[in-house]
Amino acid sequence: MFTKNKPTQLELFTPHVKNTTPKKRIQGSFFEKIAPYEKNIILGICFLVIFIVSYALGIEKGRKIQTVDNNSNVIQIPSTITTNKVIGKEPIKKANSRIETKQPKNKIRRNLADFKGYTVQVASFKNKTSAEKEKLTLERKGFTAYVIPKNKYVIVCVGMFNNKDKAKISQKKLKRLYNDCLIRKL
């Protein structure tokens, strides 16, 4: 019984004979190989990624456009300077009188006492020297700043405005430098 089947079975398992059955090749695109529900998941993920990237790029582009619009309100003055020629030159005489530097501060204090309007408070300090430094940095940037002593603190303010709307416009410009600036009455 075993002798009859031995040669035929050995032919099937011999290493010398090559396997003649052809291998099945899966041909087609990537989407044909995956199941239909997986297609929907992959398409959904791709759509979500594209949406997030386009949203982020749109925000960045919008920020750039917004900063350009804020700077477009600035009027540019030509930098050409005309010089006047002096026909008759006279020697400059030294002045004997002494000019006090505290006069402008007194004028500002008098103006603040008389002025009934609005200002933008930028900062408050306990030290007067710190407040003066902040005032100088604001003046270098082109703002009209002044210091007002209030109780234990010294506050730094910018501008004197007759109505609150003009103060709000100035406050929007100052928000870039000072996030917590506020409008107050003088």
Q: Distance (Å, rounded) from C-alpha 183 to C-alpha 186?
A: 10
Which one has a higher pLDDT value, 99 or 16? 16
Q: pLDDT of 109-126, one tens digit each?
A: 556 656 678 999 999 999
| H-helix segments, the chain | 2-13, 30-33, 36-71, 103-114, 128-140, 164-174
Q: Which two tokens stand for residue 169?
A: 């416009």
pLDDT of residue 129: 92
pTM of the model: 0.41
Which of 28-37, 73-82, 146-155 is predicted with the least confidence, judged by mean pLDDT? 73-82
Q: pLDDT of 45-76, one tens digit each?
A: 999 999 999 888 887 777 766 655 555 555 55
List, in order, residues 6 or more apart from 92 with CB less than 8 Å away.
none
